[in-house]
Amino acid sequence: MTKVFILDDDELHNELNRIVMNTVGIQEIDIRISGKDAIQYLEDCKHDNSFPALMFIDLNMPGMNGLSFIKLFEEKYLQYSNHTRIIMLTNSILDSDKDEAMNHKSVLYFLNKPLTAGKLTEILHKVENIKV
Amino acid sequence: MKQKVYSLLYRTFAINAPVIFIVYNYIFMRNAFQNKSVREFRQGVNDSKCKFWLQTLLDNTLMSIMALKAIRDKKGTIIDFEYMFVSKIAEASVNRTDHTSRYFLKEFPGAKIPGLFDHCVKVTETGIPWNSEIFDEAEGFKSWTTIKTIKLEDGCLIMYSDITERKNAEHEIRKMKEELAKRATDKYQKFFNSVNEGFCLMEAEFEDHKVVDLIFREVNPAFEKNTGLHDVVNKPVSQVLPSFKQNWINIFTQVAKTGEAVKMESYISELSRWYSISFSLMREINNSCVALIFDDITKRKISEVHLEINNQKINEILNNINVLQNITAQKETEKKLKENMDLLQSILDISINSLSVLKSVRNSHNEIIDFEYILVNKTVVESLQKGILTGRLYTEVYPNAKESGWFDILKEVVESSSMADFEKPFNLYGKEDWFHVVAQKFDDGVIVTSSKITQRKEAEEEIREQSHFNRQITDTSPDILYVFDLVEEKIVYINKSIYYSLGYSPEDIYAMEDKLTKTLFHPKDYNRRIAHIVSMATVKPGEVRDMELRLKDIKGKWHWYNIRETFFKAGEDGSTKQILGIGQDITDKKEVQAAFKEEKTRNEELRRINELMDTFVYAAAHDLKAPVANLKLVTEVINNTEETALRLQLQNKYPAIIKTLDNTISGLINVLAIEKGSCTTLKELYFHDVYKVVIKELGQEVLEVNPKFTLDFSNCESIVYIESYLISVFRNMISNSLKYRSQEKKLTIHIESKRSGKYILLTFRDNGIGIDLGYYGKDLFKPFKRFHTLSEGSGIGLHLIKNMVTKNGGKIEVESKIGAGSIFKNYLVQYNK
């Protein structure tokens, strides 16, 4: 069962994403809307020793932005979950953002919103190849 | 007696040789005819015929002759004389025709002559003749008489004659000769000095009419130099130069006898040198005086030419001297000569200028072909370094005298008696120097003085160049150059630039005098200018003070000038009297400056706008895309699902999304609107009024939340500000407070205004949920950063507000505590209307 994590401050968008994911068959979806909460979630994962396979991270968020979160994740939590892959899901069209994001080894894709079902399927296929 | 008279007559008539000759011959022939002996002849004098001859002789002689016989008293003392006979002339002179047997004392006017009687007595008694020349002045008429008295038996014979005419003639001659002598003396003085030889006067010392020694009476400075003998005056040669004594005495004797000068060359052992010595009789002084000219010919033995020339000159001198007759005058002249000579030499030698006296050298056609150096001063000798110049030829000393033109100049001076005064370059030792030369005719020659003026010439040239340069600078300089007199308050000098810059000629400016300030200066600058001028009284040399002011040109147009002024001339009291100033037209510069300032402001504005635009664009990109992305998502899911329940669920999302979109667009439009309208509306805005407007605008939101407002604008009621800006500030602050209110308590919003330094502080305080500034801190005012997930709409708000406030120098500060609330301090800078 694929476990997915969404970090985005746009709650409506999160809800929509959940719907889309449901249609594709992903049921286990954790959503957080702030970096602070997200970090707490990671701690929980660590505690439970159960990290999601995919993390959909928004770039521009108030407080901690997406990249900061990714950095933190890689620093502190990657060791516990080297199977986790991150998808940057953002409205940003800046190449600099993309380049910087892709520099991180756990970042699989840099995608523009919205996340379509088709895209999601593609990602799942990719991930499945990666052993849990 | 008569015989004796006769013989005496013979003797006394020795002076008048022709008379004697005639008389004697007559008598002799007469005697010869009669073949009588002299004795017989003499005896025959008693003869009446003899007596007749005698009388005739006596009558015809021009001399006054008187024979006197002594009259003695009982003691034998002569008390009177009796006239024995008197010549006709004598008779005539005393208006008597017959003196015979008259008594001397009683009668003879000569008795008037003081002491004549006594002299006669003395002559009678002693037999020593007495001669004299007597001067008498009667009725303003001067007369000279020569008188001679000799013993005649027991009596005397007096002979006298009037020599007034002769004396007068003599006097004239003497005067002429003095004149001549003086001229000669002047020449002599010059020669005397130029003469490098030692000169001395010696007087013979006699013993029994024989010369036994020669005494030095006078020497010239050269004498000491030449001979090395000092302090010889009044010393005899036997003491000074004993080896020469006899030799010189011999020469002296010879000279005295012949009257001719003698020259000899001898080696003086005492001095170990060769000398050429000239002896010449100084008859004018007395018959026992000789002049000796010493010349050290140790060197001259080599060069005979100089010797020859000098000797010629000396002879010339001597010839001139020999012309003199008057003894005392000569003595005086010589004394003066010596003094003048010393003085002359000193003067000549002190002068740093060259002085040369040149004599013309003429050919057989009397044309001047060269010059000979007669006299030069020390400077010439030292500067030429060609040794002794005296006697040498000009063209020999200056080989290129003729081609350089100097010779012709000097020739011209001699021939035309004109004076030459010129400055000319001359090549000496290969270096060209400038000389100022003055040449003046002197006898048949010229006196030339020259001074080297190369330095002066160079300095002059430099100054000339400098002035020319300066003049060029001042004339071509576009800047106005002037000298202003602080005391007289007028321009004393201004360069031509004034014409090109303001249209006034320098003359116009000078004519303005103290009306200058009022005519040219801007009224707004008067006071500043006057204050500046007053302060310039203390400006020191080298100190420059400047100011900017406006000047009006002749057409009335104003120009900005930068003037820099400095000390130029001090007054008598030491304070600055005149200042030198330079004025530059900076009108263009000022315009550029103003434009630049404007540009700068504009640039800053542009930067701000650019920043805003970036933000705008970014916000547009992000904030618009989010809802659009949502819309896309919703649409896609709806399209891909058959589940009506899901469809419905999703469809319900549309309004919210659209609202978000709408708000974002509105917010962005608002930004543009504010920016567009910002530059024009500056108004005095009352805070209370603005508050009311914003509350109305926010409308529903405020009503729903219904916060408690407390307002305090008592400290500062209004501000001159951009209306749209101030409205935005209020709206944003209140809106945020509404959005981030606490759910647990009733929202309270406190708004107050007060002055704080240069700012007007507008504070918004609420009791909302607060902001974790530690977490969000620097992002707070960054564009589109929503600091709370609860918020809706664009996060552009605070960024925009900050932009507005800081635009003209203001700032925003935040204080907040989670759960307690937030305080936003807007430090606004009032606009100048």
Q: For residue range B543-578, what is the model confidence (pLDDT) as tens digits?
A: 889 899 999 998 989 999 999 999 888 888 878 888
* Measured distance CA(B244)–CA(B238) in Å, rounded: 8
User: Are B622 and A60 an interchain contact pair (Cβ–Cβ within 8 Å)?
Assistant: yes
* Measured distance CA(B548)–CA(B585) in Å, rounded: 10
Strand partners, B505: none
What is the value of ipTM here, to two decimals? 0.86
User: Are B653 and A10 an interchain contact pair (Cβ–Cβ within 8 Å)?
Assistant: no
Residue B304 has pLDDT above 80, yes or no: no
* CB contacts, 8 Å: A33 with chain B: 789
Identify which of B621, B640, B788 has the shortest CB distance to residue A91.
B621
* Measured distance CA(B32)–CA(B36) in Å, rounded: 7
Which of A9, A18, A60 to mutate: most B Cβ within 10 Å? A60
Beta strand A28-32 pairing with A3-7: parallel
Residues above pLDDT 70, as percent of chain B:
73
What count of Cα atoms within 13 Å lies in the side-chain half-sphere of residue B293?
26
Beta strand A54-57 pairing with A3-7: parallel
Q: Which of B107-111, B341-345, B769-773, B827-831 has the highest mean pLDDT?
A: B827-831
Give the residue-averaged pLDDT of B124-144. Answer: 79
**pLDDT number for residue B41:** 47
* CB contacts, 8 Å: A36 with chain B: 775
Provide CB contacts within 8 A for B576, sequence distance 6+.
B486, B536, B537, B538, B539, B567, B568, B569, B570
Residue A58 has pLDDT above 80, yes or no: yes
* Measured distance CA(B184)–CA(B182) in Å, rounded: 5
User: Are A62 and B786 an interchain contact pair (Cβ–Cβ within 8 Å)?
Assistant: yes
CA distance B773 to chain A (A): 10
User: Are A16 and B630 an interchain contact pair (Cβ–Cβ within 8 Å)?
Assistant: yes
**pLDDT number for residue B687:** 94
Provide CB contacts within 8 A for A72, sequence distance 6+.
A39, A64
DSSP for B645-678, please give it.
Answer: HHHHHHHTTHHHHHHHHHHHHHHHHHHHHHHHHT
pLDDT band for B792, please (50, 70, 90 cuts): very low
Least confident of B187-191, B374-378, B385-389, B744-748: B187-191
Smallest CA-to-CA distance from B713 within B765, B767, B762 is with B762
Beta carbons within 10 angstroms of residue A127's beta carbon: 18
Which of A16, A18, A92 to mutate: most B Cβ within 10 Å? A16
* Measured distance CA(B563)–CA(B568) in Å, rounded: 15
pLDDT band for B310, please (50, 70, 90 cuts): low
Q: Is B563 helix (H, G, I), strand (E, B) or coil?
A: strand
Least confident of A123-132, B39-48, B405-414, B804-813: B39-48
CA distance A16 to chain B (A): 7
**pLDDT number for residue B418:** 80
For residue B787, the chain A residue with the least C-alpha distance is A62
Which of the pair, B381 or B794, is modelled with greater confidence? B381
Provide CB contacts within 8 A for B249, sequence distance 6+.
B204, B211, B212, B213, B214
Residue B434 has pLDDT above 90, yes or no: no
Identify which of A10, A17, A34 has the shortest CB distance to residue B626.
A10
Number of residues that this document lists for chain B: 833
For residue A17, the chain B residue with the least C-alpha distance is B633
Numbered residues of chain A with Cβ closer than 8 Å to any chain B Cβ = 9-13, 15-17, 19-20, 23, 33-34, 36, 60, 62-63, 91-93, 112-117
Strand partners, B71: B80
3-class SS letters over B750-788: EEEEEEECCEEEEEEEECCCCCCHHHHHHHCCCCCCCCC
**pLDDT number for residue B20:** 56
* CB contacts, 8 Å: B646 with chain A: 19
Q: Which residue has the tokens 């005649």?
A: B152
* Measured distance CA(B711)–CA(B753) in Å, rounded: 9
Strand partners, B562: B548, B584
Give the residue-averaged pLDDT of B716-743. Answer: 89
* Measured distance CA(A14)–CA(A30) in Å, rounded: 10
* Measured distance CA(B563)–CA(B502) in Å, rounded: 14
Helix count and strand count (H, E) for chain A: 5, 5
Pair B323, B300: CB distance under 8 Å: no
CA distance B813 to chain A (A): 19
**pLDDT number for residue B565:** 92
Q: What's the pLDDT tens digit per position in B685-703?
A: 999 999 999 999 888 888 8
Supply angle C-alpha B389, B394, B399, rounded to 5: 110
Pair B495, B474: CB distance under 8 Å: yes
Give the residue-averaged pLDDT of B634-648. Answer: 84
Which of B773, B789, B794 to mutate: most A Cβ within 10 Å? B789
Residue B668 has pLDDT above 90, yes or no: no
Tell me chain B's radius of gyration from C-alpha atoms: 66
For residue B771, the chain A residue with the least C-alpha distance is A63
* Measured distance CA(B40)–CA(B78) in Å, rounded: 34
User: Are B633 and A17 an interchain contact pair (Cβ–Cβ within 8 Å)?
Assistant: yes
Residue A4 has pLDDT above 80, yes or no: yes
* Helices B654-677 and A11-24, packing angle to 10 deg: 140
**pLDDT number for residue B778:** 67
Identify which of B630, B646, B649 has the shortest CB distance to residue A13.
B630
Q: Which amino acid is at B760?
A: I
CA distance A62 to chain B (A): 5
Residue B756 has pLDDT above 50, yes or no: yes
* Measured distance CA(B152)–CA(B70) in Å, rounded: 10
* Measured distance CA(B681)–CA(B726) in Å, rounded: 11
User: Are A62 and B787 an interchain contact pair (Cβ–Cβ within 8 Å)?
Assistant: yes
Give the residue-averaged pLDDT of B514-532. Answer: 87
